[in-house]
Chain A
Amino acid sequence: MTKNVLLCGVGGQGTVLASRLIALAAMEKGMEARGAETIGMAQRGGSVVSHVRIGGEIHSPLIPYKAADVIIGFEPAEAVRCLPYLKKGGCMVVSPVPIRPVTASLTGGAYTGNEMMEYLKQTVDNLVVVDGTAICAQSGSPKVLNVALLGAAIASGLIGISLEEMEQAILKRIPEKFRAMNVTALNLGAASEHV
């Protein structure tokens, strides 16, 4: 059975590493993996999306609409933008911290992210909000938001990879001096509560 995980955010937030970790953990279990990344001009502060598909017979590297078991939203507006991908009963994991685009500041637009979070709360049954700011502070690095979100996504139980298996993938893939902080972030993320 194919599991689909979509990761969305803003260029530079670390979606690619998180998607690679999911694929690696799946391959360690002998599952097939496929995916696609956004590379090129959009990486310069634009919207980016990584698709990961594991297990079963997979053809397209892109997840079809309404087929994502889990969406990992690194930013609230990007999470809403990708909501059409979420499967019925699928889980949305989201960081509530907005990244304000230049266009919003220029037009005096009041984008705060709150309206996006409200919308997600109203429309998504299975929603997990990850307090990335607190977890980054506790883990001792501002760069572990991606792994904290990954922890919550794994804890949803919808990806078919256990927390221990993901921890192994982190130990294998991430350089030694960053391992401890990432494992801490993974576990703190996994403890995030449903809304």
Chain B
Amino acid sequence: MSKSFLMGNEAIGLGAVRAGVQVVSGYPGTPSTEVLETVAKHNPGDIYVEWSVNEKAGMEVAAAAAYTGARAMVTMKQVGLNVASDPLMSLAYVGVKGGMVVMVADDPGPISSQTEQDTRHYGQFSKLPVFDPSSPEEAYEMIGDAFDYSEKYHTPVLFRPTTRICHGCASVELKERISLPAPQGFVKDPDKWVIFPRLSNANHKMIEARNPVIGEDFSTYRFNLVHREEKETIQGIITHGISYEFVMEALNGYKGARIIKISTPNPTPEKLMLQFMDGLKEVMAVEELDPVLEQELTLLCGRHHLDVNIRGKLTGDVQCAGENSVESVQKVLEAYLGAPYIDYLESLSAGAVPDMCSGEAAGAVPGMCSGAAVPVSLEDSHPTPSLPVRPPVLCAGCPHRSSFYAVKRAMEKLNQELPDGQEPVEGVYCGDIGCYTLGNAKPLDMVDTCLCMGAGITMAQGMQRVEPHKRYFSFVGDSTFFASGLTGIVNAVYNEANLTLCILDNSTTAMTGHQPHPGTGRTMMGQVVEKVNITKVLEGIGVKHIRTVDALDLEQCVETVLEFSALEGVKAVIFKAPCIAIVKTTKKCRIVEDRCVDCRTCINEIGCPALVLDQDTVRINPGLCTGCGLCGQICTVDAIEPVE
């Protein structure tokens, strides 16, 4: 069998295909998205794959498929599990027949998320088994194990990789697809599939009795490992996931401590953990996100009256938030293991093995995704030049820029034209989750709130109950509209809220890499289907004023916003223009040099990355410009013109 260089998410997707998964659902979210996409791309033809409208829908689709005896998987990011937690909690009581894996990717850092929540805790909360892989190649194998355990114990299981597994790459050996018998089909049984208090009570007892059995089973699970020390020691290290790899790299062959890697944090493999602690006096828990294993060990010590000092996040030895790195772990281990370990590392660096890292750099952000990290100067004689900050921005030509700017311009215009003596009207801009959260950056500065999927619509309602004199705008993308916007709009219409719904319809789920959604008319099975029409949905809900505008036509947008925002009740402006990353354009704009006065209005007003200041001259970067024409529409001296 040959090896392939795969991203962790590809390994998980291919591992699920190999394990005979038959139904896969999910909602996009970094870092989980590529798992479902991989299944769709490598679909042998007998797997049903869908992007569901949100995580809750995806969870229910997968659960019902598993009720029939088929193997099913649902994929999402950690905050998606909050959306899907309602079916998850009940499903934990009901159980499944075919194997069901709930693939939830966590995001330490966080790098692309709102929270640093730890899905291992969801495992404890819902009393479901959790699998926590350490590498792409392990994830490839482990996803198959997850299906096996799910079927063995008739329960859904959580599979929880983190960003560095999902987006880490490794050479993975691919294996033959497992052949499974056809599923038995759904067998009616009201005592099994219909949740009632009586069933819940009985199954709660069943689960409490079952979980210690699974914990016992996990004590011999192939990816729960103990590395024994070579010299006698009283010190141990407990770790998991990518932190295990950081520990192994930082130890660099040092064998003066006992190490345990836990791949099944719930139910914990108690027997293995007790064996691990035998003879130890101290254990350092090196974990990312929450101190789950640290707390479990502490409980175990209490219950078994063990005199072992458990350290980690709760004792302040390990950072309480953010990603771990080889550097941060090495620092923890130096303080914990002391001279023998430090001497060992020094003996290595005296030889051929490179000096891995220094303590001084350990505080910097690994991966430097924010672009804000400042390097340590190598030589004092050469101070590091100040680095330009490079936060993510809306792309050049992005229609969201134009939409936000139009609303901003409309409110400025409204206030400029107010009769003398009248108080200015304040606009409140409630944002949402997607590329358009980047509308918060200067110079647009048009996102005042962002909480979670769909919240922009409902938050504008809560505020106006206290401050009704302001004008409220709720920005929502097309994918978010379908995922969780509808409930908030119904709430607004029913409760007679007063807000302008700004639907930024770019015909895709852009932030996560352009997934189709109900409004695009395409499915993950490659079918062209009827589009769910946003205007008709709004009409059906009872929104009285709805208008679709060309997001790149500034004047039309400004006038519509002015007109609509003055109306009573819920009104919707649909700013329509496709995401610039999915349309091929040959258009460009150029600056007519003898007309340009370098006033920088274009740069200062819209902050397009294609508009650059070269010395004191404004230029358009032709490599980035898409010819959207927004800058030309605001130029005060008509010095920007389109070129074909």
Task: List the interface of chain A (C-beta within 8 A of B).
Answer: 10-11, 20, 23-24, 27, 32-49, 58-62, 64-67, 77-78, 80-84, 87-88, 100-106, 108-111, 115-116, 118-119, 122-123, 142
Determine whether the beta carbon of A35 is less than 8 Å from that of B358: no
Which residues in A have their C-beta under 8 angstroms from that of B167? 36-39
Determine whether the beta carbon of B388 is less than 8 Å from that of A60: no
CB distance from A46 to the nearest CB of B (A): 4
Per-residue CB proximity of B96-138 to A under 8 Å, as 1/0?
0000000000000001100000000000000000000001000
Which residues in B have their C-beta under 8 angstroms from that of A24? 5
Q: With A and B bound together, what is the CA distance between A67 and B250 in angstroms?
A: 13
Determine whether the beta carbon of A103 is less than 8 Å from that of B392: no
One of A11, A59, A101 near B389 (C-beta < 8 A): A101
Determine whether the beta carbon of B249 is less than 8 Å from that of A41: no
Determine whether the beta carbon of A81 is less than 8 Å from that of B368: yes
Q: At the interface with chain A, which of B52-60, B143-151, B495-503, B611-619?
A: B611-619
Determine whether the beta carbon of B249 is less than 8 Å from that of A59: yes
User: CB within 8 Å of A: which of B345-394?
Assistant: 354-358, 361-362, 364, 366-371, 373-376, 378-379, 382, 384-385, 387-394
Q: What are 27 residue pairs bridging A and B, where the CB atoms are less than 8 Å apart in the complex?
A: A11-B392, A34-B168, A35-B169, A36-B164, A36-B169, A37-B167, A39-B167, A42-B111, A46-B370, A46-B371, A46-B391, A58-B249, A59-B246, A59-B248, A60-B242, A60-B245, A61-B164, A64-B356, A100-B388, A100-B613, A101-B390, A101-B391, A115-B385, A116-B385, A118-B385, A122-B379, A142-B623
Which residues in B have their C-beta under 8 angstroms from that of A111? 388
Determine whether the beta carbon of A45 is less than 8 Å from that of B7: no
CB distance from A133 to the nearest CB of B (A): 11
Which residues in B have their C-beta under 8 angstroms from that of A108? 600, 613
Which residues in A have their C-beta under 8 angstroms from that of B366? 62
B12 within 8 A of A: no
Main secondary structure of the interface of B (DSSP, over half): loop
CB distance from A69 to the nearest CB of B (A): 9
Determine whether the beta carbon of A47 is less than 8 Å from that of B357: no
Q: With A and B bound together, what is the CA distance between A35 and B355 in angstroms?
A: 20
Per-residue CB proximity of B240-266 to A under 8 Å, as 1/0?
001001101100000000000000000
Residue in A closest to B383 when the chains form the complex, CB atoms: A119
CB distance from B583 to the nearest CB of A (A): 16
Q: With A and B bound together, what is the CA distance between A11 and B369 in angstroms?
A: 11
CB distance from B411 to the nearest CB of A (A): 21
Determine whether the beta carbon of A81 is less than 8 Å from that of B371: yes
Determine whether the beta carbon of B170 is less than 8 Å from that of A33: yes
B603 within 8 A of A: yes
4 additional A-B residue pairs with CB within 8 Å, beyond A65-B362, A80-B384, A106-B443: A45-B392, A48-B369, A81-B373, A109-B388
Determine whether the beta carbon of B7 is less than 8 Å from that of A37: yes
Determine whether the beta carbon of A105 is less than 8 Å from that of B169: no
Q: With A and B bound together, what is the CA distance between A108 and B617 in angstroms?
A: 10
One of B326, B379, B603 near A123 (C-beta < 8 A): B379
Determine whether the beta carbon of B171 is less than 8 Å from that of A33: yes
Which residues in A have their C-beta under 8 angstroms from that of B615? 110
Question: Known: A101-B609, A102-B608. Contact between A27 and B171, CB under 8 A?
Answer: yes
Determine whether the beta carbon of B168 is less than 8 Å from that of A36: yes
Question: Known: A59-B246, A81-B387. Contact between A41 and B378, CB under 8 A?
Answer: no
Interface size class of B (residues with CB under 8 A): 35 or more
Residue in A closest to B7 when the chains form the complex, CB atoms: A37
Determine whether the beta carbon of A44 is less than 8 Å from that of B438: yes
Q: With A and B bound together, what is the CA distance between A105 and B512 in angstroms?
A: 28
Which residues in A have their C-beta under 8 angstroms from that of B392? 11, 41-46
Task: Identify the interface centre among A66, A108, A119: most chain B CB within 10 Å of its CB.
Answer: A66
Q: With A and B bound together, what is the CA distance between A47 and B248 in angstroms?
A: 28
B395 within 8 A of A: yes
Residue in A closest to B111 when the chains form the complex, CB atoms: A40
Which residues in B have their C-beta under 8 angstroms from that of A81? 368, 371, 373-375, 387
Task: List the interface of chain B (C-beta within 8 A of A).
Answer: 3, 5, 7, 30-31, 111-112, 135, 164, 167-171, 242, 245-246, 248-249, 325-327, 354-358, 361-362, 364, 366-371, 373-376, 378-379, 382, 384-385, 387-395, 435, 438, 441-443, 511-512, 600, 603-604, 607-609, 611-615, 623
Q: With A and B bound together, what is the CA distance between A37 and B168 in angstroms?
A: 6
Question: Known: A41-B392, A111-B388. Contact between A106 and B603, CB under 8 A?
Answer: yes
Determine whether the beta carbon of A41 is less than 8 Å from that of B30: yes
Determine whether the beta carbon of B388 is less than 8 Å from that of A119: no
One of B164, B375, B382, B609 near A102 (C-beta < 8 A): B609
One of A20, A23, A47, A122 near B382 (C-beta < 8 A): A122
Determine whether the beta carbon of B388 is less than 8 Å from that of A42: no
Q: With A and B bound together, what is the CA distance between A64 and B442 in angstroms?
A: 34
Q: With A and B bound together, what is the CA distance between A87 and B352 in angstroms?
A: 13
CB distance from B393 to the nearest CB of A (A): 5
Determine whether the beta carbon of A66 is less than 8 Å from that of B355: yes
Task: Identify the interface centre among B357, B368, B388: most chain A CB within 10 Å of its CB.
Answer: B388
Determine whether the beta carbon of B613 is less than 8 Å from that of A104: yes
Q: With A and B bound together, what is the CA distance between A33 and B4 in angstroms?
A: 10
Q: With A and B bound together, what is the CA distance between A109 and B169 in angstroms?
A: 37
Determine whether the beta carbon of A102 is less than 8 Å from that of B607: yes
One of A44, A80, A87 near B435 (C-beta < 8 A): A44
One of A20, A46, A61 near B168 (C-beta < 8 A): A61
Determine whether the beta carbon of A37 is less than 8 Å from that of B373: no
One of A20, A47, A59 near B369 (C-beta < 8 A): A47
Which residues in A have their C-beta under 8 angstroms from that of B370? 42, 46-47
Which residues in B have their C-beta under 8 angstroms from that of A103? 388-391
Q: With A and B bound together, what is the CA distance between A23 and B7 in angstroms?
A: 12
